[in-house]
Every structure is written in C-alpha cells, then in structure tokens.
Structure 1
Amino acid sequence: MATAKTHPALQAVRKSGASKVKVACSDIDGVLRGKYLHKDKFEGATDSGFGFCDVVFGWDVGDVTYDNTSVTGWQHGFPDALARLDLDTHRQVPWDGNVDFFLGEFINADGTPYPVCPRQTLKRVLARAEKAGFRVMTGMEYEWFNFRETPQSWAAKKGVGPETITPGMFGYSLLRANENREFFNALMDDMLAFRVPVEGLHTETGPGVYEAAIGFSEALEQADRAILFKLGAKEIGSRYGIMPSFMAKWSAQYPGCSGHIHQSLSDGKKNLFYDEKSKRKMSKLFESYLAGQVLCLMEFAPMFWPTINSYKRLVDGFWAPVKPTWGMDNRTASFRVIAGSPKSTRLETRCPGADVNPYLAMAAVIAAGIYGVEKGLKLTAPPITGTNQGAENIPRAPRTLIETTRIFRDSKIAREMLGDTFVDHFAATRDWEWRQWLDAVTDWEMKRYFEII
C-alpha cells in the first residue's frame, strides 16, 4: 500500500514540475471552498494536513455566520480545523492550465473524523455498509437551467429576470443542444478529462435546461464526481457567458431540477439487488433496502431538500414525487425500481433536488437503505401504478424546511445512523436558513401588497 510520500499522485505532481496545486473541501451546503497551495506547502499537507478555517461550517451560502451552532462559532473564535487531502482524488483541471487538483476532508487533531464534515459523514455510512459486507454503488443525475448571465449582470438585475440560453419547452432536442454546442461539447469532453465521466447529456423540458447522468461508480467516488460536476459546469459555463443554476425551482412556470440517485449493493463481484428467481427480479436484500428508504424518507428529508427553495419543487403533479411511494419503472414514484439484468438492476431515489450537497444526500439515502437491511424490514407497501394510483391515502411530504428539520432533529434513526453531533449541527443550520427566510421581504410580497393593501 502506497504511503503519502510514495503515492502515485504525489509522484505525478513532482514530475509535472508544477508550482502550485488546487485543493477544495465541501462546506455544509455542498459548496466547494478551496485555495491554491504552493507545491512545498502541498507536500507538507500530504503528511500532516493543513489548516482550513472552520468557519466553512460556521456560515451559510452568503458567508453570514450562524448564531446557533456549537461545533463552530464566534464563541470558539473560528480557529483552523485540520483538512486532510485524499490523494486518490487527484485530477487535473483542463480549463485551468491542467493544474493538479485534490479534494479533502476534515479531521480532528487526533486524526478521527471531524463529525460535521459532509464527506466524513458519507464515509461513516459507507463504513457501516462495508462492515455488513456491502460495497455501495451509485450514480447521480442532475437537471439544471442555464442562463445568459455573468456574476456582474446577475448582480445588476438584483435577482430578477434571468435570461435563459434558449427559449421554449424542447426536451431531448438536438436543435437546442446545437444552439450552444461549444458549451454542450465542453461539458462532455472537459468533464471526462477532469475524471467526471458523463454517460449522457441532453436538453430537458424547459428553456435552457439540461440533464446529465454521471458515470456509475462506488458511492464516495460518485459523490466526489457529483460535487465536482457542479463546480465544473459553472467554471466551464463562464467561458461561454453562461451561468448554470442548480437551484431546485427558479420559476413556478417550469418543472424543478432534480438530483436523482441510482443505487445498488455489491459484494465486490455481483449485484446483490438482483434475483433471477424473484417475480420482480428483486432480491430480499433489495426489498429490505427499499423498505428502509420508504420508512425513513421524512427522517432524513432536509438532507435531500436542504433549502427554502427545495420545497417549491414539491408540487403535486409536476414530476417531482411528493410521497414515500415506490413503483416498478415508474417515474411518478419517489423510489423507482429498475429491475432488469444482473448488471442494471438498481433503485433510483427520485426525491432529491439538484440543490443537494451530494455527500449528504447520498449519506441520507444509503443510511435509510442500510437501516432497512440491518432491521430486516419487509416491503409491505404495494407499488403504485400509473400516476400515483395506490398512493391516495399516503401522506404527502411537508411543504417547508422547518417542518422537515424538526422531524430530522427529533429522529432516533437519524441520530443512530449519522451521530448526534452531525444531526444537531445540520438541524441548527437549517433552522438558521428558515429564519433568514422569515426575515426576508420578497418580490412576491411587494407585487401582491405594495399598492393594494
């Protein structure tokens, strides 16, 4: 086994003669926070890690510090936390002079995982699955809208009236893809060179909206690819005057943006979700995994509906599923069972939006599935058919972040699978997000009340 000093990635950096390296870690919202390191600093960091201000877990997406967290906050003075680079994440950024790039994660001074680090949270869940003999395989799909905007033009518009790159509703359109073919091709080609292979890319229903399916892989690698895809799409888009947006719902007129997660369990040799003898081709293991997700949908909900805007996507009859339902190859269900060949049989969890932190969304769905396996849960609920036929008496999801946050905070299952420290911290950050919304005055309120009331 290679040590840090003998790791091929480090040898490659030395051989390249590079003067700097680019590094990044995920904050709680799934935004990559990073920096460039001088090559000498980078070499030292491969041994003992490097200091990274723990404010990355103590502020929101607008860099405003939380007033309700205990792991980090003003009361601690925002000291450096220790970031450790994962040398296996080495890649080069083709649109940034092929600078060497590494992802990292946070650890405590004694080397144990930092409890609120999103990547470490996913790794804890995966370690639990591995202990039970499972390798978790996943694939992420994103839908997102693309706008003819720059940071400056968008700031000047004060958050109103973005211009989409193409008009109209035209899914699977070669014509619309051709309108921005340089950007479209760069997404495929540059992402592949960035070790984020895109299996498929097409236009979706809506003006300027695309969907990308990221190549299936082991779950940690997939989460790395998924968070890097967002960053890459934004950086590539800027070359063409295009601003991608992964928010869940930018306009009430159009469908929202999903972040579907495909999953299967393997023993390292075969897909354990497939059973040739089963009528549905589903193994008992698959049924227990699915039963766990059906049971735990609301227990983990803020991890795949993490923003105020996430809940604007949850509109009845508008593609995004709003109930803990499952079905056989049914895209109106929250959990779509794709049962085919030994290779392709899998679960597609369709609840998450594109605004997720992929580390946390994957941690949530996998934790729910593994919980079902550990408890030997039976899949007693029948599959829905057609457009939610059979779901009439199933309660729909809450419509607000604060409702799901309270369920999550009080969940014994979430605490068992993710740990008290993470649950308390993440719940506090979502409570903060909700309070910012309560204090805001929106353009909807201005248009509705300003003149008339």
Structure 2
Amino acid sequence: MEKLIAFLKDKKITEVECVISDMTGIARGKISPVDKFVNEKGMRLPESVLLQTVTGDNIGQEVYFELLDSAEIDFICVPDENAVFLLPWTLEATAQVIHDTFDRMGNPIELSPRNVLKKVIKLYDDHGWQPVIAPEMEFYLVARNEDPDLPLKPPMGRSGRAESGRQSFSIDAANEYDPLFEDMYEWCEAQGLDIDTLIHEEGTAQMEINFSHGDALSLADQVFVFKRTLREAALKHNVCATFMAKPVTNEPGSAMHIHQNVLDKTSGKNIFTLDDGTKSPLFLSHIAGLQRYLPEFLPLVAPSVNSFRRFLPGTSAPVNLEWGEENRTCGLRIPESPPHTRRIENRLAGADANCYLAVAASLLAGYIGMVEGLKPSNPVHGKANESRTANVNCLPLTLDEALVAMEESEACRKYLGDAFTTGYVAVKQAELENFRRVVSAWEREFLLLTV
C-alpha cells in the first residue's frame, strides 16, 4: 500500500472509487473518502455482485445458492497498486482503484472476470511465456436518446450537421468531433492509458481507437477504464458513446479486435517466429487453438443477443474461423509485420464484451492449441466470409447455441472452473430470458395488423 498511499498524497486525492468488474464489465464498488480508504486498505462487497445481469437482476435461485453462500456473505477486495487511475472529469480530486477479490481464506474469487484473466496469464507464466496484446476498440458516437424505442441517430458535429453517409478513414469527418476527442486524449494521458491511433471507421459516426501493445492484464485494465472515460467525454459534449456490438440497423457492428503474440520470458523473443524468420510450430498451433476452442468460448467475446446481430452474413464482421495473411475477411487475420513482431488478430470479439473475459478467452484458446500441438486449417486466400459454415469449426448461430456449447465445454470447466462457467452461463441465460419478454418494434410494425 505504500506506493498507492504516496500516489494519493502526491495527487492530493480526496475521494477514491474502489471498483471491480462484474460479468458484463460494469464497474461495481464503493466511493470512499481517502482517509477511510487508506485506513481500511480495501473494501467488502456481497458475493451476489458478481452474478448480477446487465439489467441488475439476479440469476435463478437454484444456481444462485449453488454458487454462493446461503448467508449471502461478503468477499474481500484488495486494491491493486498497479491499477490506479485519476478521474479527470470529477469535481473532487478522485482516483479510481481496481481491486482484486478474495474469499475469507485468501483464495481468489473464481467468479471475478479479472481473476479469470489472471488465471489464464498464469498458465502462460508456468511455461515461461508472456502473452502480449494490443486491443482495437470500435464505437459509435450518437445523439442523446431518451426513448429506447427510437432508432439511434448520429450527433451534430462542429459544422452543425450530422453525418449522412459512411466516411471510412476520413480525417475531416473525424475532426467534426475534435473538442470531444481532445478531451478524450487529454484524460487518457492523465490516466496513463496507452492509446494510439484514432480512425474514422466504416459506419456513420463510427470510430476506432487503437492501444499500443503490452501486458495483457494492464491493457485489459486500460480498456475497462477507457470505456468509462470515453463515455464521460462524450456526455460532456452532449452526445453519447456506445460500445454496443450492433447499435444501428444496416450499419457495421463494433468490434474489439485483439492482436496477440507470445514472448519467451527468458530471451524476450517472439515464440511465433523461428530464428530464420519463418513461422514457428507454436504459431500454427496457437491459430489452431483459436479455431478449435473459440466456438466453445464464444459467449465470452459475444455476450448478448445484440452481439450476434454483428455476425449476420453480408456484414463487414467476420463470420468464420478461417485464417489468412492480411485478410480482413478471416476471423483470424495475420497482419503483415516484421518476423519479430509476428502476431494474430482475433477479429471475432465485439466491443460490448467484458475486456477481461474476451482477452482471457482469446489467450486461453491459443494456449490450449500450443500445449496440445494442434494443427490449423490451410490459410485462406481471397474471400473467407461467404459462408459462416465455411470452416469445420463453425461458429454457433445464436446466443442460445453458444451458451449450450460453453456450458458443455470441458476445456472451459477445466481451465476457468466449474463455478465460473456455471455462473457466467446462468447470468447470460437470465439476460436472454429478460430479452425474450420484451415485444420489439419489428413485431409491432409487421404483426400488429396483419396476423
């Protein structure tokens, strides 16, 4: 705590937001005066926090009491000194501190998404490997929307007009929102978020921010903080930023592309490349692991009904598990790069995914491929997204199918634990049931007077 206490004193912090990530990626926790935070050195939260749905509801009682103590006890949250971020938008001098979660015996809480990622990273560490990632976050800027039954609209820019068409890579279109992005960059710099390029994506008022490559846990923390930072910057400028996977009908979806490679911890060399610069067997096995296991882990990268709207055939999103060099129609793209930076870009994950769980799923699938010595399919040259069943390891078509595959996944239970697998599936099934109870605008439009 010495390092953290010194930081809080140096920055004259008066309030501390003590947070953890729930299954959805929502920041849950408590706001504490700095003196109380320093004296208590952590916080307690009820176990049920980690099993809340995105609507704030609880899961079914049977699974609830199977996974949680019937007395509804608290777990212990311990601050991570390496996950401290200033909040530049608050009136009081405030720091956000991400916490790790433990039971009363000091064991990591299996339901915690951050602990899930740490568990996967340890698998690599036990082999003398260090995973390296670089996330790319797509998002939409939209006008404020008070009625959820109404479609989202692009916001007004500096010119006083809203975008009316797609503006891929347009500098002028991105500059329409310069005041917002200037705040975003300034706030990210103040928090130590290692963001890089800003790109105008294909959709109307759709953007992308790239992160520099680095440590998997640190970057997952940064994505967790970035989402909140961008939303706050947008609200300051009277617009909204959304990371929904498919927020606008007939517009492209938003992804969280995950670039990943693996270093040897002793030599620092990329294990995806041999000394002569060619692809290593471990590289090919990593691809094969992604092909083999991502269908079982799909709810971790596509967590909601809306996530699967992004995968519809004919969209710009990948609908397959093929791989290819510089091929954006593949779910697994191999970007052109020098041999020592050879990497895989997982293009399946949606921007709506919990960053800890999406990174964990992607790294775990590749890890299993390496330890099992799996072989990938042949690389694809040309279009790979004509059919979502082109690859033998095709993706589930719906969230229902994906949840069944995850629930029955031996690999998920072996590596991530029975409690997490059961709990996560239960949360997503509860959300799915909640969704099914809502009558949609499509039903009112086409069925009201015709059936």
Question: What range describes the TM-score normalised by the shorter chain of this pair?
Answer: over 0.9
Partners of 1:359 and 1:307 in 2: CA distance: 16
Q: Are 2:152 and 2:247, in contact at CA under 8 Å, matched by a contact in 1? A: no
- Give the secondary structure class of the aligned counterpart of 2:96: strand
| Deviation per residue, 1:200-219 (Å, 9 max, x gap) | 11111121111111121110
Query: How far is the alpha carbon of 1:101 from its aligned partner?
Result: 2.0
191, 195, 216: which is aligned to 2:192? 195
The one-letter amino acid of 1:93's match is: L
Does the residue aligned with 1:260 lie in a helix, a strand or coil?
A: strand
- The equivalent of 2:440 in structure 1 is 442
2:32 to 21, 30, 37: 37
Q: Is 1:300–1:364's contact at 8 Å kept on the other side of the alignment?
A: yes
Question: 2: CA distance between counterparts of 1:300 and 1:45?
Answer: 38
- Return the offset for 1:98: 4.6
Q: In 2, distance between residues paired with 1:438 and 1:197?
A: 39
For 1:383, the aligned partner's letter is: P
Whether the 8 Å CA contact 2:320–2:331 is kept in 1: the answer is yes
The reply on whether 1:52 has 2:56 as its aligned counterpart is no
- Separation of aligned partners in 2, 1:224 and 1:425: 22
- How far residue 37 of structure 1 moved from its aligned partner, in angstroms, is 1.1
Deviation at 1:255, TM superposition (A): 0.8
> Who is 1:308 aligned against?
305
Q: Is 1:421 aligned to 2:419, yes or no?
A: yes
Distance 2:273 2:100 in 1: 34
Q: Secondary structure at the match of 2:341?
A: coil
Q: Find 1:124's aligned residue among 95, 119, 124.
A: 119
1:374 aligns with 2:371: yes
Among 207, 227, 230, the alignment partner of 1:210 is 207
Cα shift at 1:172: 1.1
Distance (whole Å) between structure 2 residues aligned to residue 249 and residue 73 of structure 1:
32
State the one-letter code of the partner of 1:402: D
Q: 1:181 to 1:79 in 2, by over 3 A?
A: same
Counterpart for residue 62 of structure 1: 55
DSSP-derived class of the 1:202 partner:
strand
Uncovered stretches (5+) of structure 2, i.e. residues with no partner: 156-161
- Secondary structure in 2 matching 1:373: helix
Q: Distance in 1 between matches of 2:30 and 2:409?
A: 36
SS at match of 2:348: coil
Cα deviation, 1:110-147, whole Å, max 9, x if unaligned, reads 11110100000000011111001111111111111111
CA deviation string 1:62-89 (max 9, x = no partner): 1122225336889835432211111111
Q: Which amino acid aligns with 2:20?
A: C
Q: Which letter does structure 2 place at the counterpart of 1:440? A: V
Partner Cα distance (1:448, 1:98) in 2: 53
Structure 2 residue 376 is the aligned partner of structure 1 residue 383: no
What is the distance in 2 between the residues matched to 1:162 and 1:437?
A: 19
1:223 Cα deviation (Å)?
0.5
The aligned residue for residue 161 of structure 1 is 151
What corresponds to 2:21 in structure 1? 26
Do the aligned residues in 2 keep the contact of 1:83 with 1:105 (CA within 8 Å)? yes
TM-score of the superposition, structure 1-length normalised?
A: 0.92
Equivalence for 2:158: none
Distance 1:84 1:71 in 2: 25
Look up the match of 2:409: 411
1:143 maps to amino acid: E
Judge which range, 300-309 or 189-198, deviates more.
189-198
1:80 and 2:48 correspond: no
Is the Cα–Cα contact under 8 Å of residues 291 and 369 in structure 1 kept in the other structure?
yes
Instruction: Tell me if the contact between 2:12 and 2:93 (Cα under 8 Å) persists in the aligned partners.
Output: no
Counterpart in 2 of 1:275?
A: 274
Q: Return 318-327 or 303-312, whichever deviates more.
A: 318-327
1:394 aligns with 2:400: no
1:328 aligns with 2:325: yes
Q: CA 1:22–1:386 in 2, change beyond 3 Å: closer, same or farther?
A: same
Q: Secondary structure at the match of 2:359?
A: helix
1:274–1:341: 8 Å Cα contact kept in structure 2?
Answer: no
Question: Helix, strand or coil: the match of 1:314?
Answer: coil
Change (3 A) 1:343 1:9: farther
DSSP-derived class of the 1:227 partner:
helix
- Partner amino acid, structure 1, of 2:95: D
Name whichever of 15-24 and 300-309 sits farther off. 15-24
Partner deviation per Cα, 1:354-411 (whole Å, 9 max, x = no partner): 11001001111111111111112223x1011111189774254222111000011001
How far the C-alpha of 1:40 sits from its partner, in A, is 2.5
Q: State the secondary structure of the residue aligned to 1:264.
A: strand
Which AA in structure 2 matches 1:136?
A: P
- The 8 Å contact of residues 29 and 45 in structure 2, kept in 1 or not, is answered as no
SS in 2 for 1:9: helix
CA distance in 1: counterparts of 2:335 and 2:274, whole angstroms: 13
2-structure distance, mates of 1:170, 1:350: 21
Distance 2:94 2:350 in 1: 31
Q: Does the residue aligned with 1:298 lie in a helix, a strand or coil? A: helix
State the match for 1:114 in structure 2. Answer: 109
Q: Letter of the aligned partner of 1:92 in structure 2?
A: L
Are 1:106 and 1:117, in contact at CA under 8 Å, matched by a contact in 2? yes
- State which of 161, 171, 175 in structure 1 corresponds to 2:172: 175
Q: In structure 2, how many angstroms separate the alpha carbons of the residues matched to 1:102 and 1:251?
A: 34
Q: How far apart in 2 are the matches of 1:222 and 1:185?
A: 21
Structure 1 residue 106: Cα displacement: 1.4
For the Cα contact (< 8 Å) 1:274–1:339, is it kept in 2?
no
- Given that 1:136 and 1:266 are in contact with CA atoms closer than 8 Å, whether structure 2 keeps it comes out as yes
C-alpha contact 1:9 1:87 (8 A) present in aligned 2: yes
Instruction: Answer whether contact 1:65 1:73 (CA < 8 A) is retained.
Output: no
User: Which residue of 2 is the match for residue 227 of structure 1?
Assistant: 224
| In 2, Cα distance between equivalents of 1:389 and 1:146 | 27
Partner Cα separation in structure 2 for residue 210 and residue 303 of structure 1 = 23
Secondary structure of 2:64's partner?
coil
Give the alignment's Cα RMSD to 1 decimal. Answer: 2.0
Give, in angstroms, the shift of residue 198 of structure 1: 1.3
Contact 1:139 1:213 in 2 (8 A): yes
CA-to-partner distance for each residue in 1:257-283, whole Å, 9 max, x for gaps? 1111110101232222123535xx321
Q: Which ranges of structure 1 fall in alignment gaps of 5 or more residues? A: none
How many residue pairs get matched?
438
